[in-house]
């Protein structure tokens, strides 16, 4: 559990998180409205060195940010509010026919509370919560694959 007092701390945490991410990853950002999911995605985007400003994909379902350096990976940023509930967002996102495939990208999905449980495939859950004093707390929960090991690497 990490405490993030300001939005800058959330950005910094996202940049650090980017260090353990690689192509094919699915990262689910969960938390209530205004928790800081998009702010976290901005930090990850900065850490991955992707182009374009990372904003709330409210009027589009998903947006691709191409890497700005050789050997970089694209970041696919999705707002799942538009999706409703899905067991396999990866397949759904590939069906959108974006200019990137999820297996070659890092995919970040902003997901509402209580929507993560039905996710079947391996993924990293980044659970952000808002405290009464307006600070945020974040918890990383690795589901399947080598996520537990990678989460430990970040924690250590």
List of residues contacting Mg ion (CB under 5 A): 37-38, 56, 110
* Shortest Å distance, C-beta 103 to ligand ATP: 25
In this structure, are residues 87 and 75 in contact, taking their beta carbons and an 8 Å threshold? no
Q: Which two tokens stand for residue 132?
A: 């009464």
Closest CB to ligand ATP: residue number: 36
Dihedral sign of CA atoms 9, 10, 13, 19 in order: negative
Alpha-carbon separation of residue 35 from 1, 73, 145 (angstroms)? 15, 26, 27
Site for ligand ATP in 69-108 (CB under 6 A): none
In this structure, are residues 108 and 116 in contact, taking their beta carbons and an 8 Å threshold? no
Residue whose CB is less far from ligand ATP, 110 or 125: 110
**Under rule CB under 6 A, residue 33 binds ligand ATP:** yes
Binding residues (CB under 6 A) for ligand ATP: these are 4, 6-7, 9-10, 31, 33-39, 56, 110, 134-136
């Amino acid at each position: 559990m990490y405490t993030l007092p300001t939005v800058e701390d959330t950005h910094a945490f996202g940049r650090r998180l980017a260090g353990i991410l690689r192509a094919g990853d699915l990262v689910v950002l969960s938390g209530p409205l205004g928790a800081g999911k998009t702010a976290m995605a901005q930090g990850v985007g900065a850490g991955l060195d992707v182009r374009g400003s990372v904003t709330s994909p409210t009027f589009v379902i998903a947006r691709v940010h191409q890497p700005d350096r050789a050997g970089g990976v694209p970041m696919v940023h999705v707002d799942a509010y538009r999706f409703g509930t899905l067991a396999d967002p990866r397949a759904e996102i590939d069906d959108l026919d974006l200019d990137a495939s999820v297996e070659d990208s890092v995919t970040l999905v902003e997901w509402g509370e209580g929507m993560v449980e039905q996710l079947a495939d391996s993924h990293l859950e980044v659970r952000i919560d808002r405290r009464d004093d307006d600070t945020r707390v974040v918890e990383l929960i690795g589901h399947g694959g080598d996520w537990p090991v990678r989460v430990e690497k970040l924690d250590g």
